[in-house]
Structure 1
Amino acid sequence: MDRQERLQKAIAKSGFTSRRKAEKLITDGRVKVNNEKVTELGTKVGPNDQIEVDGIPLEKEEPVYFLLYKPRGVISSVSDDRGRKVVGDLISDEIDQRLFPVGRLDYDTSGLILLTNDGEFSQKLIHPSYKINKVYVAKIKGIPSKEEINLLKKGVEHDGEYLKCVSSRILKTDFKKQKSIIELTLQEGKNRQVRRMLESLGYQVEKLKRERFGPLNLGNLNPGEYRELTPHEVKQFSDLAKKNVK
């Protein structure tokens, strides 16, 4: 059986980076296979080939997957040049694998975020073509009409960019305080998308939380806590991505 695969896929599976970023590493001439520089994206490698990025050999780590309840005031990154707390700081030092977040949550947004060392898995979850639902709950100033809520599904424009959600609904209203709680489901993940969509209608977001990511929710986790995904949960994501991309 042919066990060869594309070079960018092998780099992503190693946990080094995503497939898309691996493609740029290749075209930039930063990758070597068996000590030979490779710049062609169609290059295939096998399990015995030695891959180097910037002169550093890739080590094939066992893939791991974690669900983290990200608190507000934490950066969705593995490092920050301004010294702010990052999601990696919340993971135990006993975990040896080099983890990175799947997508991003804003600094002021809390909720469910996944961390892994599996770049291929990460790409499937964040690319809109795989149609993985992400459910957000926002507390806003003001009480939108049903027409405005429906407009979010049709799509709104913000700073020249077209933004839309799969579904939206009002969960709760407080007419005395003039506040509302809104639920939005997205399949894309553009920068500050939920906040920008609501701001385009004139509503300021006071709090924002991601409640669900695909089949997963936060369960009994508290902010800052995490747990490892079960093999069944990882398979659920893979099966969902395969089903949706057809």
Structure 2
Amino acid sequence: MELMRISKYLSVSGITSRRKAEELIRSGRITINGKIITDLSFKIIPDLDIVKLDGNIIKMNVRKIYIKLFKPAGYITSSSDEFGRKTVLDLIDINERIFSIGRLDKDTRGLLLLTNDGDLAYKITHPKYEIEKTYRVRIKGEPKDEELNMLKVGIDLDDFKTSPAKIKLLNVYHNTCDLLIKIHEGKKRQIRRMFEYIGHPVIDLIRLKIGPIELGDLKEGQWVYMNNTELNSLKKIFGGR
């Protein structure tokens, strides 16, 4: 019988990504046959061992789901919220259990991917793959070339240094302007903090692309299942797996 690491079992089951699965294990919320397991390397026999999260049995999913959503502002990307705030799952009426791949800040709109495929979610969010995300941003004022060059080189924020960003000026208005920015990181409120750093606060922010996956013609709050062409273009980045 084939053995499987408990972290992989949890991610394959669709309850969370592999990284979050490791957090669940470390926190002692996972039991195997009635015993708490905190060892990330622990292996199980999927068809025999009984895996529970907070006392609820976790079974492996067979049907993999891949969704792209136009997230409106005002929604958080967590699966649930103790303060009763609206989550992106309120917008998707399906029976299967899914979770968002990465995050978008509450006030940010645009493309968000959701799935029950923990392995793919892990790869998309892992820094080593440097998956590029494309955003359109509207900011106050018009930045000088030297200010944009700072972002193109990378700046030191409080807790990390940003990698070089690709930036293109799109439109200039009376007191605002629109830009296209591409980054491969996804730190909390990163783009907003970057433009605050150079003195041009963000007015509106929308994500247009994640790797090869585009927002397309979706309207705010709408979602669709990703098609095979989109899935294959995404998986090709990881060697087709």
How has the CA–CA distance of structure 1 residues 74 and 27 changed in structure 2, closer, same or farther, with 3 Å as cutoff? Answer: closer
Give the aligned residue type for 1:179: T
- 2:77 corresponds to: 76
Q: Which whole-Å CA distance do the structure 1 matches of 2:4 and 2:239 have between them?
A: 18
**Cα offset for 1:212?**
0.6
Give the aligned residue type for 1:58: I
Q: Which whole-Å CA distance do the structure 1 matches of 2:156 and 2:87 have between them?
A: 31
- 2:115 corresponds to: 116
- 2:136 corresponds to: 137
Q: Is the 8 A contact 1:130 1:242 kept in 2?
A: no
- SS at 2:52's partner residue? strand
- 1:186 corresponds to: 183
Q: Which whole-Å CA distance do the structure 2 matches of 1:234 and 1:13 have between them?
A: 17
The alignment's TM-score, normalised by the length of structure 1, stands at 0.88
Give matches, 1:6-85, under 5 Å: 6-48=5-47, 49-61=49-61, 62-85=63-86
How has the CA–CA distance of structure 1 residues 108 and 36 changed in structure 2, closer, same or farther, with 3 Å as cutoff? Answer: closer
Q: Is the 8 A contact 1:26 1:40 kept in 2?
A: yes
**Cα offset for 1:236?**
2.4
Deviations 1:157-178 (A, max 9, x none): 233432234411211222xx03
Give the aligned residue type for 2:66: Y
Q: Which whole-Å CA distance do the structure 1 matches of 2:86 and 2:95 have between them?
A: 19
The counterpart of 1:209, out of the listed 206, 209, 212, is: 206
Q: Which whole-Å CA distance do the structure 1 matches of 2:69 and 2:58 have between them?
A: 26
Q: Which whole-Å CA distance do the structure 1 matches of 2:182 and 2:138 have between them?
A: 15
* Stretch deviating more after TM superposition (65-74 or 229-238): 229-238
* Stretch deviating more after TM superposition (162-171 or 130-139): 162-171
Give matches, 1:91-240, under 5 Å: 91-92=92-93, 95-174=94-173, 177-240=174-237
Q: Percent identity?
A: 40
Q: Where does structure 2 lack aligned partners over 5 or more consecutive residues?
A: none
Q: CA RMSD in A?
A: 2.0
How has the CA–CA distance of structure 1 residues 88 and 198 changed in structure 2, closer, same or farther, with 3 Å as cutoff? Answer: same
Q: Give the number of aligned pairs.
A: 238
Q: Which whole-Å CA distance do the structure 2 matches of 1:30 and 1:80 have between them?
A: 18
Give the aligned residue type for 2:209: R
**Cα offset for 1:138?**
0.5
Q: Which whole-Å CA distance do the structure 2 matches of 1:52 and 1:25 have between them?
A: 11
How has the CA–CA distance of structure 1 residues 135 and 145 changed in structure 2, closer, same or farther, with 3 Å as cutoff? Answer: same
Q: Which whole-Å CA distance do the structure 1 matches of 2:205 and 2:163 have between them?
A: 17
**Cα offset for 1:216?**
1.1
**Cα offset for 1:33?**
2.8
**Cα offset for 1:46?**
3.3
Q: Is the 8 A contact 2:78 2:88 kept in 1?
A: yes
How has the CA–CA distance of structure 1 residues 165 and 86 changed in structure 2, closer, same or farther, with 3 Å as cutoff? Answer: farther
Q: Where does structure 1 lack aligned partners over 5 or more consecutive residues?
A: none
The alignment's TM-score, normalised by the length of structure 2, stands at 0.90
How has the CA–CA distance of structure 1 residues 191 and 231 changed in structure 2, closer, same or farther, with 3 Å as cutoff? Answer: same
**Cα offset for 1:58?**
0.7
**Cα offset for 1:36?**
4.1
Give the aligned residue type for 1:20: R
Q: Is the 8 A contact 1:149 1:169 kept in 2?
A: no
How has the CA–CA distance of structure 1 residues 7 and 90 changed in structure 2, closer, same or farther, with 3 Å as cutoff? Answer: same
